[in-house]
Amino acid sequence: MSAPHLERRLGLAQATAINMIDMVGIGPFITLPMVIGMMNGPYFLYAWIAGAVLSIVDAMIWSELGAAFPRAGGSYNFLKEAYGEKGAGRFMSFLFVWQTMIQAPLVIASAAIGFASYFSYLVPLTDITSKLVSGGVVILIVVLLYRKIESIGKISVLLWVGVLLTMAWIIGGGLAHGNFLQPLREMNEGLSVNYGFVAAIGFASVKTVYSYLGYYNICHLGAEIKNPTQNIPRSMFYSIAGIAALYLLMNISVVSVVPWQEAKDSEFVVSLFIQRLAGDTAAAVVTVLILWVAFASVFSATLGYTRIPYAAAADGAFFKVFAKLHPTKHFPHYSLLFLGGVAFVFSMLFRLSDVISAILAMRILIQFIGQGVGLLLLRKNRPKEDFPYKMPLFPLPVIIALVMWAGILLSTGTTMVISGLVVISLGTVVYFIKAKLNREWPFRPNEPVQPLDRPSS
């Protein structure tokens, strides 16, 4: 009998659903008033447009890398290939896994904390009961993910149907109210494109980008995607286009009923919106649907992140236990249990406002900026035939993405930037100790880059 291995069972529809339910979590519902407050004007929609633009440009980088290296672990493999599998790539990929073991549970915990926060609209919660709810969400997610990938694909599509129904109700409610276009007519009132506006866009974009994150989730499941060279790029662009349209329409719909001056101070702005349109019962129902959306996001994010330590361990670069697959269900169960356990602890310790900026600051340097620079190196050193997807106007989109990510990083604040650098510094120390003991790079001469061996579709 052959050893268990990951199987290519996810098609384009399932891949897109997995991306989109990761993107539309609790994020857009809790960040909507935050973004309006930061922009402090009817032109807050520009922050959501900026988030979409950055996501599209960055998705071009992910598409080139994901189509060329459709393997489990996503960024782990991208960084290893870009900086040299036997050279600095070992260092960069190790740092990515290192920060993922902290950052991934933070992402999972943020969605669970957001779930508990919105749940308090239905049932008032104390600090203790709120933590019990968020912790319970993490446990339930682990239970649902403890199964074969084809079953997870079906669950993802079911959860995505709930996401679409929720967004359709919110957008349809605004349309039926009859004042839908008013926010568009007013969005330039008082607008002055100056340093203050650009700075506000930068700070607000930290929140909108957080709400778009997840468009690349399918890259972490690269070894389980059918026809990956086409379906990985398509699923990302379909996801971003669809989500950007839904976010813009949802924002317009909400402020067409609840004026932006009031919306920016409302903790449960979407529930308030539905309450104004259809009463208390309808507001309770839409809150339940928003909780469905938040739950779906935790499900998708956890699924993708479990493949990262698995990929590193299977490659011999991380603890061997994470390379083990479940003997009958064929998924990395130790990885799932570890990340779920850490996320459970984080959900009990932190507040949502503390983790959103921390998530971005921690991943930008190694993952987003590291991949952008890495793609430039790969395109220089490898033949074009190694890249089934090629972005238009290369390398301009890469340069734009690097500049925009640098701006987002600075906008997270000095404390968060320092925290991210501390995590990277600790990882660097651990890597060099490990490399010295195992005689790995830089304590062993770098070896020539091997020809690309692309997995079959």
56-68 pLDDT per residue, tens: 999 999 999 999 9
Query: pLDDT digit string (tens) for 266-286?
Result: 989 999 999 999 999 999 999
Q: What would the mean pLDDT of 18-31 be, rounded to a whole number?
A: 84
The string of pLDDT tens digits covering residues 233-257 is: 999 999 999 999 999 999 999 999 9
pLDDT over 90 at 399, yes or no: yes
Both tokens of 60, joined, read 């071009």
Asked if 40 and 200 count as a contact pair (C-beta separation under 8 A), the reply is yes
Residues near 195 by beta carbon (within 8 Å), at least 6 away in sequence: none
354 band by pLDDT with thresholds 50, 70 and 90? low
pLDDT of res. 362: 79
The CATH number of 13-438, from 3.40.50.10490, 1.20.1740.10, 1.10.287.130, 3.40.50.150, is 1.20.1740.10
Tell me the mean pLDDT in the region 39-53.
93
Cα distances (Å, whole numbers) of residue 173 to 63, 161, 219, 271, 289: 36, 18, 35, 12, 15
With residue 440 as reference, give the H or E element that holds it.
none
What is the predicted pLDDT for the residue at 1?
47
Mean pLDDT, residues 412-423: 86
Q: How does the average pLDDT of the chain come out, rounded?
A: 89
Distances (CA, A) of 321 to 49, 316, 317, 338, 340: 43, 11, 12, 11, 16
pLDDT, mean of residues 398-416: 90
If you ran DSSP here, which 8-state letter would residue 194 be given?
Answer: S
In the chain, the amino acid numbered 205 is S
Taking only Cα atoms into account, the Rg of the chain, rounded to an integer number of angstroms, comes to 22
Q: Which residues contact residue 425 at a Cβ distance below 8 angstroms, ignoring those fewer than 6 apart?
A: none
What's the CA gap between 240 and 231, in Å, rounded? 14
Q: Report the b/e string of 245-259 with b at 16+ CB within 10 A.
A: ebbbbbbbbbbbbbe
CA distance 382 to 391: 16
pLDDT for 164: 85
pLDDT at 226: 94
Nearest to 59 by CA among 241, 246, 236: 236
* pLDDT in the model for residue 417: 87
**Is the per-residue pLDDT at 446 higher than 60?**
no
Q: What's the rounded Cα separation, in Å, for the pair 61 and 65?
A: 6
| Global model pTM greater than 0.75 | yes
303-329 tens-digit pLDDT? 888 988 998 888 888 888 899 999 888
Residue 150 CB-half CA count within 13 A: 5
Confidence band (pLDDT; 50, 70, 90) for 450?
low
> Is 19 in contact with 59 (CB distance < 8 Å)?
no
Which phi and psi (to 5°) does residue 72 adopt?
A: -65, 140
Angle at 298 between CA 348 and CA 303, to 5 degrees: 115
**221 backbone dihedrals φ, ψ, rounded to 5°:** -105, 25
Percentage of the chain beyond pLDDT 70 is 96
User: How far is Cα 357 from Cα 415, in angstroms, rounded to an integer?
Assistant: 10
Please state, in angstroms and rounded to a whole number, the distance separating the CA atoms of residues 427 and 281: 50
For residue 2, what pLDDT is reported? 56
Q: Which of 91-100, 151-160, 187-196, 365-374 has the lowest mean pLDDT?
A: 151-160
Every domain of the chain and the residues it spans: 13-438
What is d(CA 282, CA 271) in angstroms, rounded to the nearest whole number?
8
pLDDT at 452 > cutoff 70? no
